[in-house]
Structure 1
Amino acid sequence: MNIQRAKEIYASEDMISVHLDGEPVWIEHVDSDNGMATVQVGSRPTNTHTVGVERLEEQGS
């Protein structure tokens, strides 16, 4: 995924399926300057990771 699409998904009111290494995630924050995104893995709000947006995959597109 590219940084622009990550920002669009983050800002969207629609539920858009995104996966990291095959696991569903929610985008919590996008750092445009560094090409990074903070994502929540699963349903636990404390389970977050900061990864390069290129590792994120939009599902069903």
Structure 2
Amino acid sequence: MHIQRAQEIAASPVMAQVTYNGKPIYIQHVDEKNELARIYLLDQPEHEIDVPLQQLTEE
């Protein structure tokens, strides 16, 4: 996923369908410098992780 699109999704009040390893996620923050996104799986909101933007897919 491109940095700009990830930032748009993170800032939007509308929930976008984004997946990480085939599982639906929520993007909390985008780190432009390191090209990472802070995410959590929708079924595990207490478990936040940083992942490379390239591993995110918009459905």
**Is TM-score (shorter-chain normalized) higher than 0.5?**
yes
Structure 1 counterpart of 2:15: 15
Task: Determine the C-alpha separation between the residues in 2 that align with 1:37 and 1:55.
Answer: 10
Q: Tell me, in whole angstroms, the C-alpha distance in 2 between the residues paired with 1:46 and 1:15.
A: 18
Moved over 2 A (4+): 42-45
Unpaired runs of 5+ residues, structure 2, are none
**Superposition deviation, residue 13 in structure 1:** 1.6
TM-score with structure 2 setting the length: 0.90
What is the 5 A alignment of 1:41-60? 41-59=41-59
Q: CA RMSD of the aligned region, Å? A: 1.0
Residue in structure 2 matched with residue 3 of structure 1 by the alignment: 3
TM-score normalised to the size of structure 1? 0.87
